[in-house]
Amino acid sequence: MALSDPQGILASPFTIIDRKDEKLDIEAITSIVSQKQVEQIIVGLPYSMDGSIGGQADKVRAFTRKLCEHTEVPVQFRDERLTTVSAKRLRQAVRHKKTRGKIRHDAIAAALILQGYLDEGCKE
């Protein structure tokens, strides 16, 4: 999970929610949304490389539908193709002893997805 600064300019890794139980996962997300006064939820959708929607994207959509039942915050999907690859490369490029193991590539990928959204001026 990533969050932006209050001005909606810079996305930063925030936390990892390791999927365990759908109900608990939704509670964790909605708790953060409430605490951090999130105004928009951006969900990475794992399209196939050819642009089609695959099985994993269907699972993400199903989970997102359930999440939407528990929050009134608007949700928007973003193409997340190659963000994990980019995040792993970025993490390796900036790896220092101080940061080793503290930021997982999943959190960096979330920040990249959110940053792409912010950069495109999609913020309302």
What gap in Å lies between CA 92 and CA 7, rounded to an integer?
29
Residue 54 confidence (pLDDT) above 80: no
Residue 124 predicted with pLDDT over 50: no
Q: Is residue 124 part of a domain?
A: no
Distance of CA 59 to the CA centre of its chain: 15
Q: Is 78 helix (H, G, I), strand (E, B) or coil?
A: strand
CATH of the domain at 39: 3.30.420.140
Residue 85 has pLDDT above 60, yes or no: no
pLDDT at 5 over 60: yes
Res 45: pLDDT: 87
Is 109 a member of any domain? Answer: yes
Range of the domain at 14: 2-119
* Count of structural domains within the chain: 1
| pTM of structure | 0.77
